[in-house]
Structure 1
Amino acid sequence: MSLDASRQRTARLVLTLALAALGVWIIQGFLPSLVWAGVIAIAIAPAYARIERRWPHLKRGALLPMLATTIVALVVLGPVALGAYRAAAEAQDVVRFIAGARDNGVPVPAWMFQLPLGSKPAVAWWQAHLATPEATRAELARFDNAYLLRHSQIVGKGLLHRSIVFAFTLVSLFFVLRDGDTLVSQMRRAGTALFGPRADRIGHQVVHSVRGTIDGLVLVGIGEGAVMVVAYVALGVPHPILLGAVTAIAAMIPFGAAVAFAIAAFLLLTANAVTGAILILVIGFAVVGVADHLVRPVLIGGATRLPFLWVLVGILGGVETLGLLGLFVGPATMAVLVMLWRELVEREAPELGAPARDPTIDHAR
């Protein structure tokens, strides 16, 4: 290769990398939406393909992608709308409770006297901070108007940002579904050019990992929520359907369902149902134990070919780094890295693991 050709190739590479970095920097705010669209498309791909085979005329045009995108939007917005409706319905009760507490104080709950441990300190704290109108007003004074306004603005900005991300995710999902065949073909050609034959294995591993993670997190979380709804209804927990939906969402994050169980137990305690609160915790942790130690390792580990420890590390690390999106990106990333590591080890194993030859035997021969 001539010197001029080498310089041109280097210049093209530098220019390509610079343009790629500039492009990523420009669209960085929309990258989560694009990744979410890809994750959702991978998740619904089997059902989407069956519909295309069953009604091939829908494959042409934008009707089927629009229908699938609308269904995804309804599945996500339905629980959110239910939660907002219930929150609005409960807001008046909360306002009345605060007004009554300000005027009359909050009496010590009867269950607090029955605590096996720490009953006296808990009762003393409650009497000092909440039992009298003066103490209650002093506690409520900590939440002044400026404090509430500041946090309301933070919450409002967060909701607005997530609404924009969700809207752009739906737009991206529509185009991903409409042009899915073209995108897959282009990605295969690009992957082969960059990674060679290994590209198909990496792509399949990512797809299987995302689907396995969805099965292990989303479906198992929904199952936990359904089981706990039965327990909530049986034990008289207020708003069992809404709390069951919260449990299902929280259960998608490892150890997150415990927060929902604690809320349900606290609601029962406020109604002086100590036995019911204990039963909720026992049933909840039993359900979580079966789901996290038996069902999820089989679903996620089997699809990703990862030990569950690495699945857990991928999930928790992904959530800490990328938020909710990390639930799916984390395990998929770990699965690809472990696959590449195994290929490297297996390729080097014959050379590294071959038994050393004894020179005295060679000399004897």
Structure 2
Amino acid sequence: MAGGASLQQQHLVRRIFREPRRERPARRACADDDVIVLVHGWSFPNGREYPLQLLRPIIPTLLWAVILSVAVYPLFALLRRRLGLPRGVAATLLAVFLIVLVVAPVILLAGSAIDTLEGYARDLMRGEHLLPPPPDTIQGWPVVGQRLHEFWLNAANDMRAVLKDHVGQLASMGRWMGGIAAGLALEILQFAVAIVIAGAILAYSDTLTSTARDLAGRVADAKGRHFLEIAGSTIRNVSQGVIGVAVLQAALLGIGMLVAGVPFAGAITFAALVLAIVQVGPGIVMLPVIVWVWFTLPFGTAAIYTIYTVPLLLVDNVLRPVLMARGLQTPMVVILAGVICGTLAGGLIGLFVGPVVLAVFYDLVVAWIVAGRKADDVG
């Protein structure tokens, strides 16, 4: 920090904190400006965001903690009201439940994938056929039909020879999948830490909520508190409309695949969940599954599975808008644009930050337009 900036900050500290109390009301606006200058000087010494640089490693975790605490607060309040639990106990129970809810499916998915791969490895060592012969109808497919049929037939007859011919590609794919697995493990660990922090936020929710409202009021008076309410309602609605519907959709799709005997059902279910959350939709991974079912299973079973699966691929288009727009004055198109654009710009955190930013921006624009109309009417 430069010497001049340091002297200026010392002067501001004396003005703000050593000024006689009786003089402060008359100079509140000036004191507010002094606080802004002081915080800016400490936050951006020589143009560098020093405290922000210090906090950068934990900002995603803190954001997740705030998002989670806001999203599950109604459940936390219900738990306290129904069971009469103290805040700390209710927050701890909810945090443990969320950690189990996140970690348990990952452990089951990893175990299922390992068991499936071990089974394929044993069958491969024994020289058993891992794939059924390809249907003759594949040869009639345009462009790729003949090559796909030939490759499938070779793999069905001698999988070991096919694997030997593609050792380099398989090694690259293995490294790529290993990197994805390591990144996923780190994200899950970060999410678990965020859940613990969210539990602490819930335990002190009254105090923290009051502080947040006071801070919002100091920044933008009554509008600041209104924006805070918009942010909380938007986060809760997005968590219900996007995350809730995605979890329900993926769970029902996974049950259908388990009953039908689809291989790698756990991994496909997880992929469907991720695609549903990021608004791409699970159809990308489920349509090949439907094709596999029709080529592999009996006609009746394939028909029942298709009748069960296709409505599940479309149900989010009905449930998501209803849940996301419930109780909000912000138009549904604004919230949906925030979800999609936020996800593209900031990943999973952007899924929540995007709608909040656009909802507040929309409210600001509406207030600006209304103020202009009132000014025109007065004039």
The TM-score normalised by the length of structure 2 is 0.76
Provide the C-alpha distance between the structure 2 equivalents of 1:274 and 1:116, rounded to a whole number of angstroms. 21
User: Residues 221 and 153 (structure 1 numbering): CA distance in 2 closer, same or farther, change over 3 Å?
Assistant: closer
- Secondary structure of the corresponding residue to residue 256 of structure 1: coil
Describe the superposition over 1:242-279 as per-residue Cα deviations: whole angstroms up to 9, x where unpaired.
75565455433323211341252244255255776677
The one-letter amino acid of 1:68's match is L
The one-letter amino acid of 2:141's match is G
Higher deviation after alignment, 263-272 or 319-328: 263-272
1:229-248 alignment runs, 5 A limit: 231-232=256-257, 237=262, 247-248=272-273
Q: How far has the Cα of 1:282 moved from its partner?
A: 6.3
Q: How far has the Cα of 1:120 moved from its partner?
A: 7.5
Are 2:73 and 1:14 equivalent residues in the alignment?
no
User: Residues 305 and 196 (structure 1 numbering): CA distance in 2 closer, same or farther, change over 3 Å?
Assistant: same
User: Residues 150 and 42 (structure 1 numbering): CA distance in 2 closer, same or farther, change over 3 Å?
Assistant: same
Conservation of the 8 A alpha-carbon contact between 2:247 and 2:273: yes
Q: Determine which of 43, 52, 64 is the counterpart of 1:36.
A: 64
Provide the C-alpha distance between the structure 2 equivalents of 1:209 and 1:33, rounded to a whole number of angstroms. 20
User: Residues 11 and 298 (structure 1 numbering): CA distance in 2 closer, same or farther, change over 3 Å?
Assistant: closer
Q: Determine which of 77, 99, 119 is the counterpart of 2:103.
A: 77
User: Residues 85 and 335 (structure 1 numbering): CA distance in 2 closer, same or farther, change over 3 Å?
Assistant: same
Are 2:52 and 1:24 equivalent residues in the alignment?
yes
The one-letter amino acid of 1:73's match is I
Describe the superposition over 1:84-143 as per-residue Cα deviations: whole angstroms up to 9, x where unpaired.
121111011332465578x98966512xx2359616742334415761759724642233
1:127-206 alignment runs, 5 A limit: 127=150, 131=154, 133=158, 136-137=162-163, 139-143=165-169, 145=171, 147=172, 150-151=175-176, 154-155=179-180, 157-206=182-231
1:312-331 alignment runs, 5 A limit: 312-331=336-355
Provide the C-alpha distance between the structure 1 equivalents of 2:262 and 2:151, rounded to a whole number of angstroms. 29
Are 2:317 and 1:289 equivalent residues in the alignment?
no
Aligned pairs, number:
346
The runs of 5 or more residues in structure 1 that have no matched partner are 357-365
- What residue number does 1:53 align with? 81
Q: Equivalent pairs: percent with the same residue?
A: 18
The one-letter amino acid of 1:289's match is L
- What residue number does 1:345 align with? 369
1:215-364 alignment runs, 5 A limit: 215-228=240-253, 231-232=256-257, 237=262, 247-248=272-273, 250-269=275-294, 271=296, 280=305, 284-292=309-317, 294-351=318-375
- What residue number does 2:232 align with? 207
Provide the C-alpha distance between the structure 1 equivalents of 2:294 and 2:85, rounded to a whole number of angstroms. 58
Conservation of the 8 A alpha-carbon contact between 1:216 and 1:299: yes
What CA RMSD, in Å, does the superposition of the two structures yield over aligned residues?
A: 3.8
The TM-score normalised by the length of structure 1 is 0.78
Describe the superposition over 1:322-348 as per-residue Cα deviations: whole angstroms up to 9, x where unpaired.
222222222222212112211112221
